[in-house]
Every structure is written in structure tokens, then in C-alpha cells.
Amino acid sequence: MDRLLLFPISTRVERDSLTIAGHDLASLSAEHGTPLYIYDRATLDASAQSYTDALTAHYPASAHITYAGKAFLCKAIAQWTQEHDFFIDCTGEGEIKIAVAAGVPREYILVHGVNKSIDDLKAAIEHAGTVVVDNITELERIHLLIINHQPPFPNFWLRLLPGIAVSTHHAHTQTGQHDSKFGMTREEILVAAIFCNENNLPLTGIHFHQGSNFRDPEPLIPAIELALDLAKEIGFKGEWHFCPGGGWGIAYHEDELPNPSIDSYVRGVAEAVIEGCRRRGLELPHLHLEPGRSLVARAGVAIYRVGAVKKRGDKTWLLADGGMADNPRFALYGARYSCLPVSGVGRERSERVSVAGPYCESGDIIIEDLPMPKIQEGDLIAIPVAGAYHLSMSSNYNGARRPAVLMLEAGKAKLIVRRETTDDLLKRDTKI
């Protein structure tokens, strides 16, 4: 399958060079510098529409998409979620404040977190419509905070640890297995439900999330069954909420194409929920899905300039000007990527290259052993599927300044996040 299919849907090759939404990537890099991240608005909108269409087609009751902000959140992306009527999943005070600054209303903010601090909980109580409670201690803390607080309060959902993981490429992207740090066991959920009942905390839903970047929805089915059993036992009345998390996968490398179908994922979940509720005599819940990666990953492209090329044994290293500081996914869990040169795209892929960054870690790698046309020092390369879990996990390692981010539409290249400067680096600390 062709590597171009990994890139945003508005990507074209013109005069053997890459363009996205009609913008020439070489010119954007000259104007804004590298490393540079771009997001293609058309790809963002198309993936959002796929989810909305699939929910409309397969689920007869009310339903909502909650964008998992951990994939990538800034004010512009938060605004984009509102254009699609999506909720935003915010992990902690920082992400809550970004959503608030973008004008996201309370009922559209949902808060997650495995060990929410008091400040996280205070921000959630002040700004969120829903808090997904991870553990009983958190619930007790919420109760104490709410006693001294005026309504409105958020609604509360309980996060179940189903004890069933989805299949992902690495254990570090699984969250549903029995020994995971996330969520509550079946027994803990029942204790938490009694606590809510006794303390008048509005318990309105149940949630679980089994892992990230899976493409086989099969393990969702027993987890949905387990969660519906609990819903029945808790005895939700009237409108209640059910969220089997996010995590639907996407292709990062041409040998993983075609992309897993959003429609078949949503259909599978919807059918299991409808059938499971029918068997238990439960009213259909308000169904929520919580995707991050499958909404934004393909819309993003990272552009790097290759500063040096080194031959070492059988290996050809392309040394790029970005790496683990803007994309730690290889270092964290061996993520795979592909890439194309920005110019001379159609040339024969005559070399096998590995791409590494400028940082002082041998694990500062982006790509291992990929067929590529010959790349010379000074050339630009474009890494597709860079829209999720790059910038949201970026760092200042080695004094790196986080890259600029552009949103591209036909005739418009808007700088949505400016590049960090050395002044930004110096702002927080002081001399002794």
C-alpha cells in the first residue's frame, strides 16, 4: 500500500513535492522553521464526521463523542471539538483550564485521572459537567470538597477495571488488564455506588477503557457485559451514561494499512450495548465513546530537517532536528513510523534508513530501517500520523523548545501554537 495513504486526506504530490491543503511543506518550513507540526483541518473534520455518522447509523438513543484531550490539546483543538458538538476528556487541572480558556462550556468538560490532586478535583468541581471517579479515596475527597461548595456540581461516573485488556502492540498501552493501575474492581464499584447513594453524590454513569491503539474490538464485548451487569446491580434510573472508553487504532506504517474502520468499531460497540441492555431489561443509556488517536493522529504531520547523514555498519542514520523531545513514542514503547522526503517524493526507495533525533539518548529514535529515496544533509522529511501523543507528551529535554503548530486549510495556514523560545525556558527558574 502506498505510504501517501498515511498522510492527511488533503495531501498531494505537486512537482514531486508534498503539499497539504494546497500548502507546500517546504515553504511552510522555510517560514516557520523546523521541527514543525501541521494539522490538516479536512482530515480532522472527516474523522469527526465518521464518528458522528456511525453513532447516528448504529445507536438509536442519545450518544456523544468525547475527544480524549490527552492525544493533543490546545485552545484551537478544543474549539474544533465544539464545532462537532464533542465533549472533551480532560486529565487534570491543566487540561481543564485549556478547555475553559477555549470557551468550552461546563457540561462538555469531562474529567479523568488516576490520582487526581486536590487542585485537579477543585478545578473539576468548578468547571466540569462530569467527573469519572477512579478510586474510593478520590470519592471521599470529592465528598469533603463538595460539602463546602455551592452547586452546580458535576455528575459522577465510576471507572471500572474490567480485568480484560485489548490487544495493543505494547503492554504500556494497555489499561484494562486485572493488575492495571486504572479504575476500580467490581467489588470496589459497588462500594463506591453505595457511598454515592449515602452521600447524595449524583452517580449517573459507568466507564471503562481497556487500552490504546487496538484494532480487534472483540475484548470489548465481555467488558461491556460486565459493566452492564454492574449497571443493573447499581440500578441506574432515568437517563444514565455508559462509556466503553476510546482507543480505536490507526495505521502508522504502510504495512498496517488500511486504517481500521471507525464504522465497524462503533457498530460493534452499539450492538453489544443494545443487546446487553435488552437482555437485562435496562433502558438504553446515553452512549459515549472517547477516541483520541483515531480522531487526530492522521491529521498531524511532523516535518524535520536532516542535519547529518551517518553510515554505521549496515545502518544509515538520518539525524533529524527533532526526536524524542517532541515525539517520545519510540522511546516509551517502540512505536513504528514511516516517512517521505518533502521533495523528490517519487524517487526510487533505494536506501534503508533509520531516523534519530539530536538528543543525548540512544533511544532518541523515530524510525528504524525504512526504505527511502536517498536523503542528503539539509533535506526535509515528513513523518505522517504525528497528530496524537507527540506534542502532548513533549518535553524540554536538552533544552529543546517545543515546536510550532500550524492548522492548514485551503488558503489558510494558521499558527495555533507558537514555537517555544529560550525565554520560555528561562521563565520558571531562578538563580540561587
Ligand X SMILES: Cc1ncc(COP(=O)(O)O)c(C=O)c1O
Instruction: Candidates 209, 329, 390, 401: give the one binding ligand X (CB under 6 A).
Output: 209
Instruction: Candidates 89, 93, 326, 379: give the one binding ligand X (CB under 6 A).
Output: 89
CA quadruple 391, 181, 169, 302: dihedral, nearest 10: 0
Instruction: Candidates 32, 64, 70, 288: give the one binding ligand X (CB under 6 A).
Output: 70
Q: How many CB atoms lie within 10 A of CB 178?
A: 10
Tell me if 213 contacts ligand X by CB under 6 A: yes
DSSP calls for 162-218: -B-PPP-SSGGGB--BTT-SSSB-HHHHHHHHHHHHHTT--EEEEE---BSSB---T
Tell me if 244 contacts ligand X by CB under 6 A: no
Sheet strand arrangement including 11-14: 11-14, 17-20, 23-24
Least distance from ligand X to the Cβ atom of residue 130, Å: 12
**Inter-CA distances, 3 with 22, 23, 25, 69, 251, Å:** 19, 19, 17, 27, 10
Q: First vs last Cα of the chain: how many Å apart? A: 57
Taking CB under 6 A as the criterion, which residues in 136-175 touch ligand X?
none
Taking CB under 6 A as the criterion, which residues in 21-60 touch ligand X?
none
Give CA–CA dist 53/151, Å, rounded. 35
Give CA–CA dist 373/347, Å, rounded. 6
Tell me if 246 contacts ligand X by CB under 6 A: yes
Number of residue whose CB is nearest ligand X? 292
Residue 196 annotated to the active site: no
**Inter-CA distances, 21 with 39, 102, 173, Å:** 10, 25, 32
Which one of the spans 28-36, 67-75, 123-131, 319-327 is the region binding ligand X (CB under 6 A)?
67-75
Rounded to 5 degrees, what are φ and ψ at 324? -65, -20
When the beta carbons of 247 and 403 are compared against ligand X, the nearer one is 247
Least distance from ligand X to the Cβ atom of residue 291, Å: 4
Which one of the spans 54-62, 241-249, 347-355, 412-420 is the region binding ligand X (CB under 6 A)?
241-249
Instruction: Candidates 176, 245, 357, 358: give the one binding ligand X (CB under 6 A).
Output: 245
When the beta carbons of 46 and 425 are compared against ligand X, the nearer one is 46
When the beta carbons of 51 and 304 are compared against ligand X, the nearer one is 51
Tell me if 116 contacts ligand X by CB under 6 A: no
- Of 408, 397, 62, which Cα lies nearest the Cα of 241? 62
User: What mask of x and - would describe binding to ligand X in positions 272 to 311, judged by CB under 6 A?
Assistant: ------------------xxxxx-----------------
Give CA–CA dist 414/421, Å, rounded. 19
Least distance from ligand X to the Cβ atom of residue 292, Å: 3
> Apex CA 206: angle with CA 202 and CA 209, to 5°?
140
Tell me if 8 contacts ligand X by CB under 6 A: no
**Active site members:** 360
Which residues contact ligand X by CB under 6 A? 68, 70-71, 89, 112, 209, 212-213, 245-248, 290-294, 388
